[in-house]
Structure 1
Amino acid sequence: MSDDDDEQYRLFQELFNSTYDTSDPTYVVSENVQLCIKTSVNQFGAKFIPVFYYVNFLLSYLGNGLVLCIIYKYERLNTVTNIFLLNLVLSNFLFAASLPFWATYHLSDWIFGTALCKLVSSAYFIGFYSSILFLTLMTFDRYLAVVHAVAAAKSRKRLYAIVASVSVWFVSIAASVKELVLRNVWKDNLSGWMCEESGYAESTMERFRLVSYYQQFLLFFLLPLFMVMYCYISITVRILSTRMKEKCRSIKLIFVIIATFFVCWTPYNVVILLRAIQISVTREEDKPCSDSLDYALYVTRNIAYLYCCISPVFYTFVGKKFQSHFKRLISKKIPCLKGHMSFSSQSTRSTSQRTPHSAYEY
């Protein structure tokens, strides 16, 4: 063996020893790897979430069904207000129909197959998003009817209501397409069959989640909140500038609507924003293993869902006209209560909005 061969062999030996010498303390990893197993959160979800979902499901179908019944029996179905209200009821039916599936999922695992995983997830988000947008659209329609009554009388036609409703459904479906594409069923060794977003690398899925969080916060909370605030403040100013006997009642009603919307929706969306910020600014290995946001998400999400389910009842039965319709319906079903109820003299088929206050009588 030549001197050059000896030198190359010696260099190889040094390189080999320096690469694989595990006795060198600089190559020893002394950090503990923290496994973030959220058993308590999962147990909380399995115990309480199904109850919330079933309660929301029952309240939604009872309340929305009652609104639908009253509209059918006592109202004209082709007015602008009732077209929006019918679409809101439909969106809540669609959203609530998914809740029993998610309740069963929280109790055990996903037992309904891949097709229903995609369809139920899509229906869930389409109903949820469209419900928020239809509530905002109804608020904007009230604003037009009160603040711009003369101009609105010409523009608030059936075609306007249909085009606006179709636009809401289009936006809601477009925002939910990723659920149809990304949702898949796969088996986890610990949790069983899962209906979750999958199919791409974790970094890609994390970006999708970020888009969903910011979409939820900006498009389906911040924008509707600003619109609701602007519309009802404008309506309040308009009502205060008129001479109406029931001015005080109208202002109180506006305050209740704004306060309820804000109280029910803000906590959930703040948690959504915090989760998005946590994903955005924290490296994977530095993410805290904390249950606080998970518990907060469970609680605040169900408050928002409850409001979403009962919103048609809230938005209609605070008005005198729908209260009168409800009394008529009850008196027909339970005649013995008829003598204890007073009825409004307003025509049950009236749809005119001649004063700002009349916008709160449907």
Structure 2
Amino acid sequence: MASTTDMMTTTSQNLSIDYDGVPTTTDGEYDYEGLMCDKLSVREFRGRYEPPLFWLITILGGLGNLAVVWVYIHFRHRVKTMTEIYLLNLAVADLLFLCTLPLWAAEASQGWSFGEGLCRVNLALYKVNLFSGMLLLTCISVDRYVVIVQTTKAQNSKRQRLRCSKQVCLVVWLLAMVLALPEFIFAKPKLTEDKEYCRMVYPGNKGNHTKIFVLSLQVSMGFCLPFLIMGFCYCVIICTLLKTRKFEKHRAMRVILVVVMVFVFTQLPHNAVLVVEATQATNITMTDCEQTKRFDVVGQLLKSLAYTHASLNPLLYAFIGVRFRKDVVRLLQAYHCWPSKGQLSKVGKPLSGSMRASVMSDTDTTQALSL
């Protein structure tokens, strides 16, 4: 009896619970308690829930982010502000992330059947664009801080900041790739009953320590650091706007609050689950089968909520701007998809004088205020 108890204690120390309910040890094998807890209902829930939602996020997010790239390509031959450069890179990051969702949808319904190489690439691509997206949102908040709070300095260093923004974007992408290295190393398909799933498998006796490190990296760089910087920048921006008499300030503050609230609402719950998962890897606290099932289901729901941010970014950062909406309408009119009152310049040709003034005359400060 004592030896059985010891065996259960030893195996429970190596247990890690994935959101789809696949219990694995650090070497990827089933543990003793995992065999006593049937997670089939959790996997079935995932198979019904994820595919339609992921396809919906892919379609809506794809349309929105493609529109952002489309407008910048056709109407902004020379992007003139840091925020516009960050928005373009953010749209590309979101599009690359959205490309991974159909594969996860297929895995949820029928298991992973795309091989080990694509498993590594798909999981790593998700992490690259998770980190790059969060870091680019941070860059946007810092740029708005500089433009609104330090207006004079921003105007005097406009060209220098524009050149710097391209270097910042390069650093962001390189850093995101470095942070995604664990996915390139540890991702592989693992067999569960009669299906394979693409998962992180941490080999050796120190597998749990590696998992804790990877989860801590995701939470700190993918949420905590961006949230702290965004929170500081937007708090100072709001204080600055309260001291001005510009009529745009009230609308700008509402937009800022919406941006922060959406970020917290979509990202905080999922990262809280990641913290719990890291705690579980340190010291197993959930040993009841039904409790772990509920945790898996909640984790799936909150992960999906976090994914919706990729489809909301165009609405929060691009379409909410007056200039950008006007550019979209012009582009639709040029392709005869929108009622037109007059003859428009052909797409790809230089814009007329009045249209060029409308598109390009806004200052950095006005754009930042109108968001």
TM-score (norm 1): 0.83
Match of 1:167 in 2: 171
Q: Which amino acid aligns with 1:318?
A: I
Task: Report the alpha carbon displacement of residue 198 of structure 1 after superposing the two structures with TM.
Answer: 2.9
Match of 2:148 in 1: 146
User: Which whole-Å deviations, capped at 9, do the CAs of 1:137-178 have from their partners, x for residues lacking one?
Assistant: 111111111111222231653321111111111221111101
Three-state SS of the structure 1 residue aligned to 2:339 is helix
Match of 1:49 in 2: 50
Is this contact kept in 1: 2:87–2:317, CA < 8 A?
Answer: no
Q: Which amino acid aligns with 2:197?
A: M
Is this contact kept in 1: 2:61–2:312, CA < 8 A?
Answer: yes
Q: Which amino acid aligns with 1:276?
A: A
Out of 197, 200, 211, which is 2:203 matched to? 200
Deviates further, 206-215 or 116-125: 206-215
Match of 2:239 in 1: 237
Match of 2:182 in 1: 178
Match of 1:253 in 2: 255
Match of 1:4 in 2: none
Q: Which amino acid aligns with 1:197?
A: M
Task: Report the alpha carbon displacement of residue 61 of structure 1 after superposing the two structures with TM.
Answer: 1.4
* Aligned: 1:116 with 2:104: no
Is this contact kept in 2: 1:197–1:205, CA < 8 A?
Answer: no
Is this contact kept in 2: 1:132–1:308, CA < 8 A?
Answer: no
Q: 1:197 to 1:351 in 2, by over 3 A?
A: same
User: Which whole-Å deviations, capped at 9, do the CAs of 1:227-252 have from their partners, x for residues lacking one?
Assistant: 11111111111111111122221121
* Aligned: 1:349 with 2:360: yes
Paired residues in the alignment total: 329
Unaligned runs of 5+ in 2: 9-31, 342-353
* Aligned: 1:358 with 2:367: yes
Match of 2:23 in 1: none
Is this contact kept in 2: 1:89–1:312, CA < 8 A?
Answer: yes
Out of 154, 162, 169, which is 1:158 matched to? 162
User: Which whole-Å deviations, capped at 9, do the CAs of 1:40-59 have from their partners, x for residues lacking one?
Assistant: 11111111111121111112
Q: 1:334 to 1:205 in 2, by over 3 A?
A: same
Match of 1:19 in 2: none
1:313 and 1:260 mapped to 2: Cα distance?
11
Match of 1:277 in 2: 279
1:263 and 1:196 mapped to 2: Cα distance?
26
Q: 1:132 to 1:30 in 2, by over 3 A?
A: closer
RMSD: 2.7
Task: Report the alpha carbon displacement of residue 358 of structure 1 after superposing the two structures with TM.
Answer: 3.3
Is this contact kept in 1: 2:75–2:327, CA < 8 A?
Answer: yes
Task: Report the alpha carbon displacement of residue 101 of structure 1 after superposing the two structures with TM.
Answer: 1.1
Match of 1:15 in 2: none
2:41 and 2:306 mapped to 1: Cα distance?
23
1:239 and 1:30 mapped to 2: Cα distance?
63
1:27 and 1:50 mapped to 2: Cα distance?
44
The residue correspondences of 1:1-362 to structure 2 (distance < 5 A) are: 34=33, 35-79=36-80, 80-153=82-155, 154=157, 156-188=160-192, 190-198=193-201, 200-201=203-204, 203-282=205-284, 287-289=287-289, 290-334=292-336, 337-338=339-340, 347-353=358-364, 355=365, 357-361=366-370
2:4 and 2:299 mapped to 1: Cα distance?
39
Unaligned runs of 5+ in 1: 1-24
Q: Which amino acid aligns with 2:185?
A: V
